[in-house]
Structure 1
Amino acid sequence: MTAEIGFGAQSRAVYAENPANSRGRLFPEPESPTRTPFQRDRDRIIHSSAFRRLKHKTQVFVYHEGDHFRTRLTHTIEVSQIARSLARALRLDEDLAESLALAHDLGHTPFGHEGEDVLHDAMAPFGGFDHNAQSLRVVTHLEQRYAEFDGLNLAWETLEGLVKHNGPLVGPDGAPLGKFKGGELPFAIREYAGQQDLLLDTWPGGEAQAAAIADDIAYDAHDLDDGLRAGLFAIDDMRAVPFLADILAEVDGKYPGLEESRRIHEIVRRSITRMVEDVIHEAVRNISQVDPRSPEDIRMAGRCLVGFSERMAVSEKDVKRFLFARVYRHHDVLAVRRLVARVVKDLFGGFLADPDLMPSPWNEGLQSLSENDIARRVCDYIAGMTDRYAIEEHSRLFDDTPDLG
């Protein structure tokens, strides 16, 4: 079978997840007469409290720094758009790809990766912290909205794609892979594995792979955009990256003298387009080679099928190295990161020492919990905070809350 690009096509490929064949939910529910299981998952994610809080969680720039910079919410929406485009072109299930994109950052801490790093260090004696695993914990436990179960009771395919965002977590022998190699899987994943088998030793389906690469594309593009508009580097600095230099030459050649804001937008949108088109053509080539006849064939292919070509993968790493040096390690960004790290560290230490300081319902039933359980509850509470709420809580407990203005 030859894989085809299906822009606008309504037909679903044989290797796409079919909602009619979903493996179901942990807690059985009657089917919706108006929505597929994956459409229902998307709606549950959008209506969750954790999704709304993404509005005030940092991407790179802290919430007060400007209304035009990305937040976790705007990043998530951009990932969702790219994931749907990829799924449509590859004739995957668009609703599942969208659900996975919308849910992928629900477990992120306040203050971006700085908050995650601090929580991981603080939780080292208690099983550590990982934002991908925390996303699973949010949708299977922490969201408490329904009368009959904790979490959102999402379909198996959504949970599987969410937990395997970056590929298989364990090898055939059950030993952790990737960043977990030589250690153990995060607490949330180990805890949930006892309830439902998410096939942690295989690749996820095509929809999850599309959502994962969409995350990378969106990250690169919007961090270039935000970094330029924040003045952390100049447009001409991008000439050091061949991929960006080529796009810049294309834009300047077609639109000489273009005003800077439009010039920035042209560079960013062309970056997204080139990466998306590369993924589509590479995925079509990979799918044609493997000739999958079912979603299970995608999982058992032994490699990622929806990703960058080798050439684009090199270019994308060049972009990331540039962003690391010019944005993430910029002295202005680092100065704020040091301040917010202290906020998260102080909050964890304060609440762990006196968990009664947490508001209800977080401070309820503490007498029956072990030290590990209390630490996990403190971690869950802090991880769910928005940037500004974390600052407010620090001000409530401490007299030396840093001024981020």
Structure 2
Amino acid sequence: MESLSPLAMKTDLSKGRDYPEKDHPFRNSYQRDRDRIVHATAFRRLAHKTQVLVTHTSDHHRTRLTHTLEVAQISRTVARQLLLNEDLTEAIALSHDLGHPPFGHAGEYALRDCMVNHGGFEHNRHALRIVEELEYPYANYPGLNLTWEVREAMALHSKVPDCPEVKKYLKYKQPFLEAQVADTCDSLAYNAHDIDDAISLGIIDFSDLEGSKIWKMAFAKAQEILPKEATATQTQLGAIRILIDMHVYDLVENTRKNISLSKATNLEEVRNMETSVVCHSPKIEELKHELGAVLKQKIYNNFRVQRMANKGARFVKRLFFEFSENPLQLPERYKTRIITQGLHRTVCDYIAGMTDRFAQDEYMKIFNPYFDV
């Protein structure tokens, strides 16, 4: 095995955990973090939370869980090529969407609106609350007691840097490289798999992607290398594999170039740079932006996607209002938290933890007079 880059985060340099623990005989700290995340209740719930398309519309399209696994797989590949800490990179990637509520971004925006006068809501902040407080598998301390580095990466993924949960992690200008890798691979993964899902579900066809140069390049390459008898589905999947490979190759090569030009010799220097080191080349970044614009027009603004998103947002807002007006309807475990957390934060935590299916069932139990409570 090759030794790690001088710019990698070393396990023995970890700032440790809030609650000290004995070392494990054969798993390092970041491997234990990864395993704790995978075994967390919040992680399992991702299997039934919307990525873009609501989970019950098909058994085959992505959920938050499958997206998370794809991000982790790509992130680990990139980390290996850059001689970074693969275990830390994987743990960060697996944790990055733990805080998402039901119904995708529509659910998040709905909760954000509900909490605008009560401390706000943002899924990265909520992910920190999950791993630091809301999960309770251990008797000796709250949360998962993850290492500082994994929690820092989760915090720095946040778009709300001035909130108390995030501020304590803002020592440096840049995240460490493993966190930069996971963050970049997130968008890389969802661009590719959103195309796959949208084509498979008939929301778009190949012609809808004509406005994206990078897709046309990937599709042309797939047609060139695949046998003539390849089916449309095989060509589609081949093009998506090539699309991912193009992004990953460029990311690795451009990051190597950035590292070389920076002349950085240690992690401290990397973290005090003005811009991220892990990024695509300007050419690929431009093509990614063009692809993103096409996906927004053809997929995210599609009437079917918008209808389901708006349904989800209405579920969330009505549940929030109902539980806030009559908190006696909350489960006992949440009622007891109102004293310490406040009513609205408690209601927000309850709804944010729901899967799509559970949220719909709760809605029916409360608003449908013929549905068993």
Indicate whether the TM-score tops 0.5.
yes
Query: Helix, strand or coil: the match of 1:240?
Result: coil
Query: Helix, strand or coil: the match of 2:93?
Result: helix
In structure 1, the residue matched to 2:213 is 242
In structure 1, the residue matched to 2:162 is 185
Shift of 1:300: 1.0
User: How far apart, in 2, do the equivalents of 1:347 and 1:381 lie?
Assistant: 10
In structure 2, the residue matched to 1:6 is none
User: How far apart, in 2, do the equivalents of 1:395 and 1:135 lie?
Assistant: 27
Change (3 A) 1:15 1:139: same
- TM-score w.r.t. the length of structure 2 is 0.95
Query: Helix, strand or coil: the match of 1:95?
Result: helix
- Contact 1:239–1:248 (CA under 8 A) maintained in structure 2: no
Structure 1: which amino acid aligns with 2:176? G
- TM-score w.r.t. the length of structure 1 is 0.88
Whether 2:190 is the aligned partner of 1:213: answer no
- Contact 2:180–2:278 (CA under 8 A) maintained in structure 1: yes
Shift of 1:192: 6.2
User: How far apart, in 2, do the equivalents of 1:96 and 1:278 lie?
Assistant: 22
In structure 2, the residue matched to 1:293 is 265
In structure 1, the residue matched to 2:348 is 379
5+ unaligned residues in a row in structure 2: which ranges?
A: none
Judge which range, 31-40 or 248-257, deviates more: 248-257
Counterpart among 41, 46, 61 of residue 38 in structure 2: 46
Structure 2: which amino acid aligns with 1:224? I
Shift of 1:131: 0.6
Alignment of 1:302-317 (within 5 A): 302-317=274-289
Alignment of 1:47-86 (within 5 A): 47-86=39-78
In structure 2, the residue matched to 1:172 is none
Structure 2: which amino acid aligns with 1:218? A
Counterpart among 65, 71, 81 of residue 89 in structure 1: 81
Alignment of 1:166-177 (within 5 A): none
- Contact 2:55–2:63 (CA under 8 A) maintained in structure 1: yes
Structure 2: which amino acid aligns with 1:247? A
5+ unaligned residues in a row in structure 1: which ranges?
A: 1-8, 167-178
- Contact 1:164–1:200 (CA under 8 A) maintained in structure 2: no
- Contact 2:3–2:83 (CA under 8 A) maintained in structure 1: yes
Counterpart among 206, 224, 228 of residue 253 in structure 1: 224
Change (3 A) 1:283 1:389: same
Alignment of 1:228-377 (within 5 A): 228-255=199-226, 256=228, 258-364=230-336, 366=338, 368-369=339-340, 373-377=342-346
User: How far apart, in 2, do the equivalents of 1:228 and 1:208 lie?
Assistant: 31
In structure 2, the residue matched to 1:175 is none
Deviations along 1:347-375, one digit per CA (max 9) or x if unpaired, are: 10011111121112011253x357xx210
Query: Helix, strand or coil: the match of 2:5?
Result: coil
User: How far apart, in 1, do the equivalents of 2:340 and 2:326 lie?
Assistant: 13
- Contact 2:79–2:178 (CA under 8 A) maintained in structure 1: yes
Whether 2:129 is the aligned partner of 1:137: answer yes
Change (3 A) 1:325 1:298: same
Alignment of 1:93-172 (within 5 A): 93-165=85-157
User: How far apart, in 2, do the equivalents of 1:257 and 1:321 lie?
Assistant: 32
User: How far apart, in 2, do the equivalents of 1:395 and 1:241 lie?
Assistant: 42
Identity across aligned pairs (percent)?
A: 39
Change (3 A) 1:283 1:332: same
- Contact 1:83–1:98 (CA under 8 A) maintained in structure 2: yes
Shift of 1:398: 0.8
Shift of 1:201: 4.5
User: How far apart, in 2, do the equivalents of 1:32 and 1:52 lie?
Assistant: 24
User: How far apart, in 2, do the equivalents of 1:126 and 1:113 lie?
Assistant: 20
Query: Helix, strand or coil: the match of 2:70?
Result: helix
Deviations along 1:133-186, one digit per CA (max 9) or x if unpaired, are: 1111111111111111111111111111111126xxxxxxxxxxxx55xxx734
Alignment of 1:13-32 (within 5 A): 13-32=5-24
User: How far apart, in 1, do the equivalents of 2:316 and 2:17 lie?
Assistant: 35
Shift of 1:340: 1.3
Give the number of aligned pairs.
Answer: 369
Counterpart among 4, 11, 18 of residue 3 in structure 2: 11
Provide the alpha-carbon RMSD of the alignment: 1.7
